[in-house]
Amino acid sequence: MSPLDCEGDPPPPLYIDCPAPQTLECQDGGAVASFSPSVTGGVPGYSVSCQPPSGSFFSLGCNTSTCSASDSIGQGASCGHQVCVVDTLAPIITVKPEPVSLWAPNHEMLDFKLSHCVESVVDRCHGPLDVDAVGVIARAESDEVEDDSLVDDAVGDGHTCRDIELGGGSAARLRSERQGRGNGRVYTVHFTVTDPSGNQASAACQVQVVHDQSEASAPAVRDACQYCEGTGCGSCPSASPECPVP
């Protein structure tokens, strides 16, 4: 018989208190949570266990670990500990160090997609992402006018219109041409990527049409925006009504 029984008093009830809910940032699909419930009352000689136990890997979302305790005379108590794993960080975009080159300058529209200029998109929670699947082109800018026949003393771009066509998503079509007296054409493609949790990151990459392919030819030089298609073009002009499509 225990001393409490000799005195005629019932044993104190057993209590278990779980820690406050935890919120952890996701990495590689989840997070490792550490926690320890506290036990009071009852008769010493406690046994405590949690399922899943402290130190377990919890997946993205809110999960509950149920903790149970018993004392030396068989009293039991339980509590629940909530672990919420969240993804609040945007993916990291790495753009290829060199611009994409279009050649020859034959005035043809060429297909472009973001994977041509993006080296990788890596999300801390979800891992590597396919930029063509999660990327959206917002706008594309050219540092040369849409049609150089509208500009005095400018020749060589073929007098074409609509040099940029955005197809939605990660695809576009860009015209392979440049002004004959210029320093090459540079298209700047602005885009966003969205991870499965809805976090977004933005970046830009460049597509060039160099002046020529001689050994002495330098990369195209990016000048101020002269023609833009998409959203966020600001003061840079879009397609001109003076440049009709045939």
Whether domain 3-86 has CATH 2.60.40: yes
Q: Taking Cα atoms as reference points, which of 174, 179, 175 lies closest to residue 150?
A: 179
User: What single DSSP character describes residue 6?
Assistant: H
Write the DSSP symbol of residue 145.
Answer: -
Predicted confidence at residue 216, as pLDDT, reads: 60
Q: Convert the pLDDT of each residue in 124-144 to its tens digit.
A: 999 999 999 999 999 999 999
Q: Evaluate the CA torsion angle 68, 69, 75, 79 in order and state its sign.
A: negative
- 164 class by beta-carbon count within 10 Å (0-12 exposed, 13-18 middle, 19+ buried): buried
Paired tokens of 50:
């949690």
pLDDT tens string 19-69: 999 999 999 999 999 999 999 999 999 999 999 999 999 999 999 999 999
Instruction: Please report, rounded to a whole number, the percentage of residues in the chain having pLDDT higher than 90.
Output: 80
Angle at alpha carbon of residue 161, lines to 158 and 164, rounded to 5°: 110
- pLDDT band at residue 212, thresholds of 50, 70 and 90? confident
pLDDT tens digits along 140-173:
999 999 887 655 555 556 678 899 999 889 999 9
CA distance linking residue 206 with residue 97, whole number of Å: 10
Over residues 81-115, the pLDDT tens digits come to 999 999 999 999 999 999 999 999 999 999 999 99
